[in-house]
Amino acid sequence: MGLSTRFPAFYSRGPVVSVARQFVNFLGCLVILPVYWFITKFSRHPLTLDILISIFVAEFNRYANEGRRRTLYKSNTTADIEKRALSPCFDIGPDCMSVVVGYREDPDLFSRALQSYKTAQGCRFLLVGVDGDNGPDLEMVDVFQQVYPEDAATIHISEPFGETAMRTFEKLSKTSDAANKEMCNELAIAHCCQLAREILADHDLGLGEPGGVTRLCLYQPHRYKKAIMFTSFIFSIVISDILGIEYLWSSDSDTIVFPDTLQGTISTIAGDKNAGGASSGLIVHNAHESLVTKLGSAVYWCELYMTRSTSASSGTSDCQSGPSTAFRVSALPGILYNWYTQTVWGQRMVVNEDRHLTTNLLMRGWTVTYVSDTLAATDTPTTLSRWLLQQVRWGRATHIETFQQPRVYLLNHPIFFWAAFKREMGPILVFACIVWYLFTGYEFIFFSFSDIVSRITYTILYNYLRNPDRGPRLAILWILPALLFYNIPLPAIHVWSLATYWESGWGTSMRSNAELSKHHQFWKRMYDLGFFVVWMGVVGGATARLVAGYAGWEGVQMARAIVLGVIVPMGGSFYGLIV
């Protein structure tokens, strides 16, 4: 029996969007352009209006997710009524298997992450993927064996499956009877699944049998995150087929899950037949390690919850966060090859693994949900330099996915386009406005301190009332610094990531001792972080002009203030980040 018949999932896709609906979505996108311009250019309180819209869509997103769960629970209630009577704590949410991938992770943090899956409700099987098979990489394998000494196994993969898939596709595409690209994609994935099935059979893991393996660790030669994700997904498809599991949870090696994280997220997919994926909300588990992590935690609390809900309110989240992602397994085989081999202007892309997975799901008609009321805890960088590098990496992925597949906006609700347009244009407008003001002293967008205060007030109140994360201790003291910490670098990060979208890699160095001991040379730091040094000079100069204007300074006094405003923050950031 061929794998194409063993896995009907190869042909699974979401509902077909009619041409009429695509035309309506197109008209909606056209309407959004003047609406956004009006709010930005002519409104006296654009920031306040924006936050009120964000609050509305965040509430609508939660209402939609509750509706999905109610649909699932209603469908399961009759069948499970006897089980519920015998066990009041019986949870009718669906089971899943979990995948955790990483590269040279800190052993203690990785151990905590693995331990958290022991209490995760609904997790029937855990698969760990390690990107690397050299000495330092095996530290993660050792941690896995220590945390799971029983019912567990490790397998070395000699060649990453992504390379196998590409080689198979190349052979198939040259044959006259396999000219259809999509068919070649599916056959390449089918071949990889067959190899995975044979490897599992050779190791005699007893999958699905009493006393069989329920935790498996794979490790392969080091490439990049997308490579280990691809191999892990292939094995997940096969294992899910063997065990009869419909849903997959995917996470990173620095992420800790709570007992209800997996089932809370999976339930929103199971309750919507059109949902191909979802992602949960995120909090920071290392908030007390440094000042940067405290600020980062506050940023997650006051920004992430509402910004991620904007597009998701229409059932079309634009990004499934790597630390907290869930899939309908049947949706994966049809998108994996295109996801892994993505190119932009002829160049392979390996930096936007999370967003491109989401884009591929949306392009095949699936909806993707953001489960804002279910949380997982992730790690945030402990230093400013690592924070900036992470934000730049995410920014590059955002640009690529925003512009590469414009048809995705026709297939989805215009709110999806609204979120993307606002995400791209907002920082660019702020960047241009600040630079223009520095050199001319004129504003081309209305600015009001009362507007800023109003936005911050609404943000704090709403998060206190509705955010499932109760927020940092003494949050009122951290919100303003966190907003400055996030929003001041944002325009520069946005522009720099757009200018360097082709950069590849994991984004930041990993946290193991072997990796952190590498010395970063001066010019490497200058290339990676120099944009921020220059931007701090621009912001400092614009701020100095603003203060000098309020003070009534002109001429030489104004010029001296601007020069000083440029030099001091540039010098400070250069010394702190580059030297």
- How many CB atoms sit inside 10 A of residue 291's CB? 12
Helix (H, G, I), strand (E, B) or coil at 171: helix
Residue 54: CA count within 13 A, CB half-sphere: 23
In the predicted structure, residue 84 carries a pLDDT above the cut 60: no
Could you report the per-residue pLDDT of 440-480, keeping only the tens digit for each?
A: 988 877 778 888 889 888 988 888 888 888 766 666 678 88
Could you report the per-residue pLDDT of 335-357, keeping only the tens digit for each?
A: 999 999 998 887 888 777 888 99
Least confident window among 201-210, 386-395, 508-517, 540-549? 508-517
Least confident window among 197-201, 266-270, 297-301, 516-520? 516-520
What pLDDT sits at residue 5?
Answer: 39
pTM equals: 0.89
Beta-strand (E) ranges in 265-304? Answer: 275-284
Radius of gyration of the chain (CA): 25
What pLDDT sits at residue 1?
Answer: 37
Q: What is the mean pLDDT of residues 400-415?
A: 90
d(CA 434, CA 573): 19
By residue count, the chain amounts to: 579
d(CA 533, CA 571): 8
* Buried b or exposed e, range 8-20, using 16+ CB within 10 angstroms: ebbebbbeeeeee
In the predicted structure, residue 264 carries a pLDDT above the cut 70: yes
Could you report the per-residue pLDDT of 483-512, keeping only the tens digit for each?
A: 899 999 999 999 999 998 877 654 445 455
Please spell the DSSP secondary structure of 302-349, one letter per residue: IIIHHHHHHHHTTTB-S---GGGEEEEGGGSHHHHHHHHT-EETTEE-
d(CA 250, CA 266): 11
The per-residue pLDDT of the chain, averaged, comes to 86
Q: Tokens at residue 539, please?
A: 């912001």
C-alpha torsion 271→277→283→286, nearest 10: 130
In the predicted structure, residue 211 carries a pLDDT above the cut 90: no
Please spell the DSSP secondary structure of 429-470, one letter per residue: HHHHHHHHHHHH---SS---HHHHHHHHHHHHHHHHHH-SS-
Residue 269 belongs to what H/E stretch? helix 261-270
Q: What is the mean pLDDT of residues 56-62?
A: 88
Quick check: 405 and 359 in contact, CB under 8 A? Answer: yes
Could you report the per-residue pLDDT of 112-141, keeping only the tens digit for each?
A: 999 999 999 999 999 999 999 988 889 999
What pLDDT sits at residue 524?
Answer: 84
Beta-strand (E) ranges in 167-286? Answer: 215-220, 247-252, 256-257, 275-284
- How many CB atoms sit inside 10 A of residue 389's CB? 20
In the predicted structure, residue 430 carries a pLDDT above the cut 70: yes
Select from 400, 319, 411, 414 the least CA-distant residue to 363.
411
d(CA 207, CA 215): 10
Angle at 199 between CA 138 and CA 213, to 5 degrees: 70
Q: Tokens at residue 379, please?
A: 């790690």
Higher-confidence residue of 2 and 210: namely 210
9 confidence band (pLDDT: 50, 70, 90): very low
Least confident window among 315-319, 365-369, 539-543, 559-563? 315-319
Select from 209, 211, 208, 227 the least CA-distant residue to 219.
227
Select from 275, 280, 285 the least CA-distant residue to 320.
280
What pLDDT sits at residue 322?
Answer: 84
What pLDDT sits at residue 8?
Answer: 42
Q: What is the mean pLDDT of residues 228-237?
A: 96
